[in-house]
Chains A and B, each alone.
Chain A
Amino acid sequence: MENIGALAVLLAFCVAIYSVIGSITGKLRRNPFLIVSAERAVYGVWFLITLSAAVLVSALLTGDFRFVYVAEVSNRAMPTIYKFTAWWGGQGGSLLLWSWLLSTYAAVVVFTNRRKHRDFMPYVVAVLSTVQTFFLILNTFVVSPFEMLAVDKAITAVPDGNGLNPLLQYPAMAIHPPMLYLGYVGFAVPFAFAVGSLITRQPGDDWIHTTRRWTMVTWLFQSCGIVLGAAWAYHVLGWGGYWNWDAVENASLLPWLGGTAFLHSVMMQEKKGMMKVWNMVLVSATFFLCIFGTFLTRSGVVSSVHAFARSQIGTYFVTFLAIGIAGTIYLILDRLSYLKSEAQLESVISRESSFMFNNLVLLASCFAVLWGTLFPVISEAVSKEKISLDAAWFNQLMIPIGLFLLVLTGVGPLFAWRRTSAESLRRNFTVPGISSLVLVGALAAAGVRNFYALISFGFCLFVAITIVMEFFRGARQIAAKNQMNLAHAVVELTHRNTRRYGGYLVHMGIVFMFIGFTGAAFNKSRVDEMKPGDSVTLGSYRLTLKDTHEGENDNYMWQKAAIEVSKNGEFLKVMEPESRLYKISSGRQPTHEVAVRTRLNEDLYLNFAGVNGDRAVIQSYVFPLVTWIWIGALTLIFGTLVALVPSKVKREYARTQVVGFTRKHVPVEK
């Protein structure tokens, strides 16, 4: 079995190389058969990697502890579902997952484009297969998951494995890595199309139209992955935070920021033929940030709370990144003349300029996060001192950036293309502007003194009203025209232009998330050692420890504290935070199952931190508004899905939106 798995990966490596060489040679020699055979090779790679993944997964499920990998990440007592997710619980397996996802994407691309884009598809295949080859090198020669435990030359098994890190035995964490990888890997596709279009000197925007949905789906996966990671940290790590500017968290945020910038700037190219070079740069940067993110998580180059050891794979990644980035820069510079802009910026207060600033700020934040994350490495190289920047530095920089982006979310869509009249500014901004000023005044009067919190709530209301107004105006017209009720009209309106209104829904999700982030300014917490019968007060809650009890199952031993919670003298419920000791995972690691009482206005969050003598150590927190982060994430997902639905009225959309699209704009000097 293990030989089949290892051989399949090795063969996949050879076939992927064939696919690169075959498609380029076929294109240059104009040999269509060679090109087709290179495309078929992509299916072959997919089949071979699927086979090897199947071998690995079956070894995990059956508990074949002759595999080093299985012994490291799995054990007999684990629930079956976590035996499966142990596939990506360690280095070798998760890189195999990367490869498998990439080969799946590549196969889908080849299949859906088998009759389209014949001129640049060979290059798309070549780029995808090159990336595939790189990861197969890692799978085959560097961190193969098919290594066997052996004594001298005899393969041997251990009675039981180490078990998956108990912290990872949690539903959100089980699907977090594949989600994030789906997002990381997916950006290889728009990148491959961009490169293909560059190499063949395509005049049009074919690559953007073809990959628009890809980019959105990929971005959606990335967003889900990031939020799942945050939710996992919140519910599992026991400190109640969801984001700590940890190197590995940053690694997931970087490509997301790049991707978000790209999603916005492609609209400029589609509608106005502007920012062509910029889009090439952005899609390449995003793709390389994805690779870089994988590198950060996998190589342990920046010390981090995440569990991945330093390893030699760093060198491979750095080499691949260096070659890839150099090649892309050369290609873009060489083809600059094909990427001329078809229009010019005309006014500071215009849709174009709001896109430009959105991109500027997203990129600046991306750079800031990158700089902060790599600061230990940079400072060590420059001054021989390894210096890290902590979460406070990131917050100091990212909170203002985030707020600026938030306000752009509100004003950008209301600016007209080319330039905006004072009349339209007044019409669009009077109501939201005054409402948010009133809100800020009221909050300040009620005793809220946190500067950023006031600004943030003001902006949130501002953006929310502008979005609701957009829906309302459009829907009212449709309702009047077709005699339907307003709710129906909203659906109709959205269906007519899913991209625009789906986008607004995504913006609404962002607003909700900001409400949740802002709540963190008002967190309360305390730590107490309590005997049964003791009571403490936190905010309006009164917490009384009733008793502690314990038990065990195959996988872990547990201890629970029963805490009676009352609010303003009124009994609410008994909450039971739990402390677990996993038996087998080397060294009996404890984990904490926190108890959370979730409400829209605040979460009560109790952690049973441990026992000191006869007293239980209870950490209690109140997190205001934190639920809005998860609501916002769901709204964002919903909005993205809406935007993926094809618009009902294509022609009408084109006429209203793209006035003057084909005409070159004559620059107007003021």
Chain B
Amino acid sequence: MKKYGKFAALVVVIVGTLIWLATAGIKDNQTYYKTIAELGQMGDQAYSKRLRVGGDVGAGSIVRKGNVIEFVMVQEKLNLRVAYDGADPLPDTFRDGAQALADGKMGRDGVFHASKIQAKCASKYEAKPGGKPAAAPTYPSKASL
């Protein structure tokens, strides 16, 4: 049965290495999903963890200052100022009113410093659950017809 011992040893080494790789990186690479309301309740923890915050991009709030792009994110009437200074260009879907996800850290200055922005174009061409058809501006409103 010696050969099975060898197989077992190799399998253990491979699987062990993978588990080690998977767990070693997990702390550095994890991001917490938070709502803007939860962010306000986090206290000091908010400044140490990497966070992902979602919301709608406030209309007319996108301002480009050099390499930093600032905007306001709105979620359930709460506002959050966001400054994006990442290297990647912003996605095409990022614009006024889009649903955006910002990854980054909360600054002591009250501004959320994002290193990555994702924007969802979901509401644009898919019906939201419950409401159909999609409440897109090109439709005639039902009342007016």
Which residues does A use to contact B, with CB under 8 Å? 68, 71-73, 89-91, 147, 149, 151, 156, 158, 160-167, 237-239, 300, 303, 305, 307-312, 345-348, 353, 356-357, 360-361, 364, 368, 371, 375-376, 385-390, 392-393, 396-397, 400-401, 404, 525, 527, 529, 584-587, 589-592, 607, 609-610, 612, 617, 619, 669-670
14 contacts between A and B (CB under 8 A): A71-B133, A149-B133, A156-B145, A160-B138, A162-B136, A308-B126, A312-B129, A345-B3, A345-B4, A360-B15, A400-B17, A529-B66, A587-B96, A592-B89
Contact A364 B95 (CB under 8 A): no
Interface residues in B107-126 (C-beta closer than 8 Å to A):
116, 118-126
Q: Which of B14, B91, B96, B138 contacts A584 (CB under 8 A)?
A: B138
**Chain B residue contacts of A364, Cβ below 8 A:** 14-15, 18
Find B138's partner among A158, A167, A387 (CB 8 Å cutoff).
A158
Contact among A73, A156, A160, A238 with B89 in the assembled complex (CB-CB below 8 Å): A238
Asked if B103 is an interface residue, CB under 8 A from chain A, the answer is yes
Q: How far is the CA of A364 from the CA of B96 in the complex (A)?
A: 42
Asked if A393 and B95 sit within 8 Å, CB to CB, the answer is no
Contact: B30 with A388, CB < 8 Å? yes
Whole-angstrom distance between the alpha carbons of A239 and B88 in the complex?
6
| CB closest residue in chain B, given A365 | B18
Interface residues of B, CB < 8 Å — how many? 63
In the assembled complex, the CB of A375 is this many whole angstroms from the nearest CB of chain B, namely 8
In-complex Cβ contact of B97 among A305, A388, A389, A587 (8 A): A587
Contact A348:B125 (CB < 8 A) given known A167-B92, A305-B91, A390-B29: no
Contact flags B39-63 to A (C-beta < 8 A → 1, else 0) = 0000000000000101000000000
A346 to B31, CA, bound (A): 46
In the complex the two chains form, is B6's CB within 8 Å of A348's CB? yes
Hey, which chain B residues are within 8 Å of A239, CB to CB?
Answer: 88-89, 91
CB-defined contacts of A387 to chain B, threshold 8 Å: 30-33
List chain A residues, Cβ under 8 A from B1.
Answer: 669
Residues of A within 8 A of B7 (CB): 345, 348, 353, 356
Contacts of B24 in A (CB 8 A): 396
When the two chains form their complex, are residues B138 and A162 in contact, meaning their CB atoms are under 8 A apart? Answer: yes
Q: Which 8 A-B pairs have the closest CB atoms?
A: A386-B33, A393-B29, A309-B126, A396-B25, A586-B136, A309-B122, A239-B88, A151-B145
Whether A167 pairs with B93 at a CB distance below 8 angstroms is yes
A586 to B126, CA, bound (A): 12
The closest CB in chain A to the CB of B64 belongs to A612
Q: B123 touching A309 by the CB < 8 A rule?
A: yes
Whether B129 lies near A165 (C-beta < 8 A) is: no
**A238 closest partner in B (C-beta):** B89
Whether A393 lies near B26 (C-beta < 8 A) is yes
Question: Quick check: A68 and B136 within 8 Å, CB to CB?
Answer: no
Question: With a CB–CB cut-off of 8 A, which chain A residues contact B54?
Answer: 303
Write the nearest CB–CB distance from B75 to chain A, whole angstroms: 14
Contacts of A368 in B (CB 8 A): 18, 22
Shortest CB distance A569–B (Å)? 28
Taking a contact as CB atoms under 8 Å apart, the answer to whether B138 and A309 are in contact is no
A312 to B4, alpha carbons, bound, how many Å? 49
Q: Is the CB of B91 within 8 A of A396?
A: no
A356, B87: Cα distance in complex, Å: 42
The minimal Cβ–Cβ distance linking B29 to chain A, given in whole angstroms, is: 4
**Interface pair B139/A158, CB less than 8 Å apart:** yes
B77 part of interface (Cβ distance < 8 Å): no
When distances are taken between beta carbons in the complex, the residues of chain A under 8 Å from B11 are 360
The 0/1 profile, CB within 8 Å of A marked 1, for residues 76-109 of chain B is 0000000000011111110111000101000000
Question: Is the CB of B37 closer than 8 A to any CB of chain A?
Answer: no
A361 in contact with B3 given A397-B22, A527-B67 (CB within 8 Å): no
Contact present for A346 and B89 (CB under 8 Å): no
A589–B25 CB distance below 8 A: no
Minimum CB distance partner of A156 in chain B? B145
Flag if B89 contacts A165 (CB, 8 Å).
Answer: no
Kindly list chain B residues whose C-beta atoms are within 8 Å of the C-beta of A147.
132
Interface pair A586/B124, CB less than 8 Å apart: yes
Add 11 more A-B contacts to A311-B126, A388-B33 (CB < 8 A).
A71-B139, A91-B126, A239-B88, A300-B122, A309-B128, A388-B31, A393-B25, A397-B18, A589-B124, A591-B92, A610-B64
How many A-B residue contacts, CB cutoff 8 Å?
183
Distance, CA A235 to CA B5, complexed state (A): 50
A238 B124 Cβ-Cβ under 8 A = no
Residue of B nearest to A154 (CB): B145
* Docked-complex contact A307 and B138, CB < 8 angstroms: no
User: Are A72 and B133 in contact, CB atoms less than 8 angstroms apart?
Assistant: yes
Q: Which residues of B contact A307 (CB under 8 A)?
A: 93, 120-122, 124-126
Bound Cα distance from A151 to B144, whole angstroms = 10
Give min CB distance, B143 to chain A, whole Å: 9
State in angstroms the CA–CA spacing of A281 and B55 once bound together.
42
Report the bound CA distance from A589 to B137 in whole Å.
13
Residues in B neighbouring A356, C-beta threshold 8 A: 7
Q: Which residue of B lies closest to A69 (CB)?
A: B133
Contact between B138 and A348, CB atoms less than 8 A apart = no
Is the CB–CB distance between A670 and B2 below 8 Å?
A: yes
A594: nearest residue on chain B (CB-CB)?
B89
Closest beta carbon of chain B to A351's beta carbon, Å = 14
With contacts A348-B10, A353-B7 taken as known, whether A397 is within 8 angstroms of B25 at the C-beta atoms is yes
Q: Which A residues touch B25, using CB under 8 A?
A: 392-393, 396-397
Residues of the A chain whose Cβ atoms lie less than 8 Å from the Cβ of B145: 151, 156
- B30 CB to closest chain A CB (Å) equals 5
Known contacts A305-B91, A386-B33, A388-B33; A161 and B124 CB within 8 A of each other:
no
In the complex, which residues of chain B have a beta carbon less than 8 angstroms from the beta carbon of A586? 124-125, 136-138
In the complex, what residue of chain B is closest to A613 when comparing beta carbons? B64
- A586 to B98 alpha-carbon distance, docked (Å): 11
A540 and B89 CA atoms in complex are apart in Å by 22
Give Cα A312 to B129, complex, Å.
7
Contact present for B121 and A397 (CB under 8 Å): no
A300 to B119, CA, bound (A): 14
Specify which of B32, B91, B93, B137 lies most central, judged by the most chain A CB atoms within 10 Å of its CB. Answer: B93
A587 pairs with B137, CB closer than 8 A: yes
Closest beta carbon of chain A to B32's beta carbon, Å = 6
Closest Cβ of chain B to A118, distance in Å, is 41
Contact across chains for A670 and B3 when beta carbons are under 8 A apart: yes
Chain A residues with Cβ below 8 Å from B116 are 390
On chain A, the residues within 8 Å of B93 by CB distance are 167, 305, 307, 589
Bound-state CA distance A396–B67 (Å) is 29
Q: A68-B132, A158-B138, A239-B89 are in contact. Are A585 and B29 (CB under 8 A)?
A: no
Chain A residues, CB < 8 A from B92: 166-167, 237-238, 589-592
Q: Which of A72, A305, A360, A609 contacts B120 (CB 8 A)?
A: A305
Q: Which residues of A contact B17 (CB under 8 A)?
A: 400
Q: Which of B22, B119, B122, B125 is A73 in contact with, Cβ under 8 Å?
A: B125
Q: Please judge, given known A-B contacts A71-B133, A368-B22, A388-B30, whether A587 and B6 are in contact too, CB under 8 Å.
A: no
Report A-chain residues with C-beta under 8 Å of the C-beta of B90. 609
Cα distance A618–B133 in the bound complex, in angstroms: 38
Q: Is the CB of A525 within 8 A of B26?
A: no
Choose from A238, A311, A390, A529 the contact partner of B31 (Cβ within 8 Å): A390
Q: List the A side residues contacting B97 at CB < 8 Å.
A: 587
Contact A309 B127 (CB under 8 A): yes
Q: From B88, B137, B140, B142, name the one whose CB has the most chain A CB atoms within 10 angstroms.
A: B88
Closest B residue to A582 by CB, please name it: B92
